[in-house]
Amino acid sequence: MKRLTYFLLLILLLFAIIPGCGSPPTAPLEGPLSPAGPPSPKVSQPGAASTGVVTAEVLNVYRSPDPGSEVVTQAIYNQPVELIQDLGHWSRVRVVDGYLGWVVSDSISHDVSSLRPPGADRRAVVLAKTQDVYASPDTSGVHGQRLLEAVMGTELYAVGQDGDWYRVSLPGDRTGWVRAGGVSLLPPGAAIPRTDAEGFIKALEGFLDTPYLWGGVSVRGIDCSGLTYICSRVSGVELPRDADQQYGRGTPVAGGLEGLRRGDLVFFRHTEESGPITHAGVYLDGGRFIHASGIDRKVTVSRLDQGYYSKRLVGARRIF
């Protein structure tokens, strides 16, 4: 009997420390939290001392220099990273969303000329879910091959123009061409223009059915706070990367469900009773909200006024 008691206690302990990420009936822990520890430390923006640039379209940032470790967040093409430590195949970096982690070294270039190339007078910010970058504005010929698929939030500097095509600087001392549709052309140092709640929702809805990926921020896979983070950013509002920190931004929404408006951020805890905020979504209408669901394993629309999420709703914040 004593052995059975110890065994049952061990099972209960394991269930207490292992978060359920997306499998019902356990709540999905949506922010990049360690399965056995606290969040990755937040750090400052990349500095100029030792800067690299991301050459992968989407780059996993791992907690440890091991592809089997947790993906804490992702960096995207042409983003700067601060280089902290070089282990040869792996590099420890700080990325623009504030996370510290490990990336495959071959996905980082030490040539950072694409971050502010000479003669660049505009910055092309990808607002579409994806935007193709070509070798030439003549996409029908052999020289018009696609070079890469830039994901939402990618920023490239324009160094030339041919009609509605823009020549952009790429890492590795290369250039490519993007079409005006799907990108916003801004002065190099200008903030992304603020849209409104409907523009925010349009960006979110473009991700419907995108696979859920812990730590993801793109169409290749995305988590709940990654979805609100990247869609708010291209809508002109800067949010922190994690759901619990996003809850501290904007204006608190009073009045419960009746007080909600389209575009309001809604937040949830892991359990019904108490605990930290671990999930975020965006209110649509009629009790519906859009989110990257760890339960459904995709970006989907669920209901606030019944079932699982109604019992875990903490509050809402208005950012538009």
pLDDT at 189: 85
Confidence check: pLDDT of 46 > 50: no
Q: Do domains 51-109 and 197-318 have the same CATH topology?
A: no
Q: Cα separation of 257 and 316, whole Å? A: 9
Is 89 an active-site residue? no
**49-58 confidence digits (pLDDT tens):** 599 999 999 9
Query: Which two structure tokens, joined as six digits, stand for 16?
Result: 């207490």
CB 51 within 8 A of CB 82: yes
- What confidence category does residue 14 fall into, taking pLDDT thresholds of 50, 70 and 90? very low
> What fold does the segment set 197-318 form as a domain?
endopeptidase fold (from Nostoc punctiforme) (3.90.1720)
Angle, to 10 degrees, between the axis of helix 224-234 and the axis of helix 197-205? Answer: 130
The three-state DSSP-derived secondary structure of the chain is CHHHHHHHHHHHHHHHHCCCCCCCCCCCCCCCCCCCCCCCCECCCCCCCCEEEECCCEEEEECCCCCCCCEEEEEECCCEEEEEEECCCEEEEECCCCEEEEEEHHHEECCCHHHCCCCCCEEEEECCCEEEEECCCCCCCHHHCEEEEEECCCEEEEEEEECCEEEEEECCCEEEEEECCCEEEECCCCCCCCCCHHHHHHHHHCCCCCEECCCCEECCEECHHHHHHHHHHHCCCCCCCCHHHHCCCCEECCCHHHHCCCCCEEEEECCCCCCCEEEEEEECCCCEEEEEECCCCEEEEEECCCHHHHCCEEEEEECC
Q: Cα separation of 33 and 41, whole Å? A: 10
The single residue of 21, 231, 270, 279 carrying the catalytic annotation is 279
CA angle 166, 168, 172 (to 5 degrees): 160
Q: Cα separation of 6 and 74, whole Å? A: 41
The single residue of 21, 231, 270, 291 carrying the catalytic annotation is 291
Is 279 an active-site residue? yes
Query: Which two structure tokens, joined as six digits, stand for 177?
Result: 């061409």
Residues 6 or more apart whose CB falls under 8 angstroms from that of 191 comprise: 236
Confidence check: pLDDT of 5 > 70: no
Q: What is the largest CA-CA distance in the chain?
A: 80
Mean pLDDT calculated for residue range 233-240 = 96
Query: Which two structure tokens, joined as six digits, stand for 55?
Result: 């050459």
Mean pLDDT calculated for residue range 13-28 = 32
> What fold does the segment set 51-109 form as a domain?
SH3 type barrels. (2.30.30)
Residue ranges per structural domain of the chain:
51-109, 113-186, 197-318
**149-160 confidence digits (pLDDT tens):** 999 999 999 999
CATH of the structural domain 113-186, one choice from 3.90.1150.10, 2.30.30.40, 3.40.50.460, 3.40.120.10: 2.30.30.40
pLDDT at 142: 54
CA 199 vs CA 153, 155, 182, 233, 298: distances in Å: 15, 19, 13, 11, 21
- What confidence category does residue 204 fall into, taking pLDDT thresholds of 50, 70 and 90? very high
pLDDT at 83: 96
Confidence check: pLDDT of 41 > 70: no
The single residue of 21, 224, 231, 270 carrying the catalytic annotation is 224
Is 291 an active-site residue? yes
CA 251 vs CA 204, 219, 310: distances in Å: 20, 29, 21
